[in-house]
Structure 1
């Protein structure tokens, strides 16, 4: 029987597949936006509703203030997304998005609220380990943008448009500042499975960064090593989306109802 979807929120700008048995909430990387997940719905099929999260200060939310305080952002995400997290759900976060996904799930676990069937994170060291970030202190906008181009976070074509270049570099700087700081406080290990995706040539991940995520779950744990660097989902999309679909099938298999085709 068809169900009425929750009330829309600015954090979820898309039109999710109605009545999909599983929801996939996606959190973008620093300097990114919900549009980086374009094509994922088509690739993953109707058995999952892809819900890309849109943070303020970008795309249709360009005129809204950018997030400056991580705890405040997490509290708002928790409240705004909660109605969408009452049906079976999973989440994938990439880099900064992985930090948001893990922190949100840990916050919900501590409060006794509904948790994902699986937590999937990419391009982020285990929470207790120091994070290697893009060094941007003292760099001009051109130098910083070139660093982001080298990592794959900005298309080289943007450099031909100075206004877009400045906007992209400014947004990335603010997002990196939002994520800056010491390793996260010690949350309790999560009761849900955790799948960690890592690029085989990611310069921002060190030995042990992915493996030590195992300490943060009491359930099953997997590492998915994908060809590419820090932005491997967009460098090796077929491999990545295939592995992601495998994890979603495991999530659907663990649900009390529904299935993923």
Structure 2
């Protein structure tokens, strides 16, 4: 894993018995997940997935669509799967984690998918995302503001937008071009976590997730909007810790239940 450009991790601390591979939202910085390691402690190692063209891989050619990116990420994970692991993805990252899960379902160490801030894949892309992906410049910035997550200084500064928004625009275009294809349900348990005030994801949008899982997905609602975990990573890590702990105990992951609100 230390030699793979796909993964960012905190090499400090003890060897951990499980991993959580984290997929960022559209335009998100994978490194932001590394701050979660403190909350996870020794229960699992947080591993941020860094696609080509992002972060330290900025000089590499980015993937052109979700299937290509999922295929390459799945191959990288399969090469490092030497212990139980969970996939976590937020928003665009949840779509990508879902498609990766479809490709690595046969790996015995793959134990759980946690999809955050994301309607069921069969409902994607939404009309709002498709419309936003067609916009440019200030109009795109304002449209993306609906989802939250853009710092005020970026919204107010066109120079910062020119620097930071191309990756966001590319990811929005990738989601806008996503084509859902029916497939066999996932064998691993699935947990859905969303903000109660998220204007983009509602209860009805989660219903079709049930068709993607062999068992009924567990739903959690956290206080906040689309980026409900900003400033409070415990909204996610408080869910992740019991999942990975259960893997080493008597209770199966699928029976874990945590109340977030």
Deviation at 1:14, TM superposition (A): 2.3
CA contact 1:117–1:254 (8 Å) conserved in 2: no
Q: Distance in 2 between matches of 1:107 and 1:61?
A: 23
Local SS of the residue matching 1:63: coil
Aligned to 2:67: 71
Q: Does 1:103 align with 2:95?
A: no
Aligned to 1:230: 226
Q: Distance in 2 between matches of 1:56 and 1:254?
A: 39
Aligned to 1:14: 9
Alignment coverage as a number of residue pairs: 249
Q: Distance in 2 between matches of 1:54 and 1:169?
A: 17
Unaligned stretches of 5+ residues in structure 2: 253-261
Aligned to 1:116: 110
Decide whether aligned partners of structure 1 residues 216 and 138 sit closer, same or farther in structure 2, where only a CA change above 3 A counts: closer
Deviates more, 1:25-34 or 1:122-131: 122-131
Q: Distance in 1 between matches of 2:200 and 2:35?
A: 26
Aligned to 2:30: 34
Equivalent residues in 2 for 1:86-235 (5 A)? 86-109=82-105, 112-114=106-108, 116-132=110-126, 133-134=128-129, 135-137=131-133, 139-181=135-177, 183-219=179-215, 221-234=217-230
Decide whether aligned partners of structure 1 residues 188 and 253 sit closer, same or farther in structure 2, where only a CA change above 3 A counts: farther
Q: Distance in 2 between matches of 1:202 and 1:15?
A: 31
Local SS of the residue matching 2:97: helix
TM-score of the superposition, structure 2-length normalised? Answer: 0.84
TM-score of the superposition, structure 1-length normalised? Answer: 0.84
Aligned CA RMSD, in angstroms, stands at 2.4
CA contact 1:108–1:115 (8 Å) conserved in 2: no
Deviation at 1:23, TM superposition (A): 0.4
CA contact 2:27–2:168 (8 Å) conserved in 1: yes
Q: Distance in 2 between matches of 1:145 and 1:251?
A: 42
Q: Distance in 2 between matches of 1:253 and 1:149?
A: 43
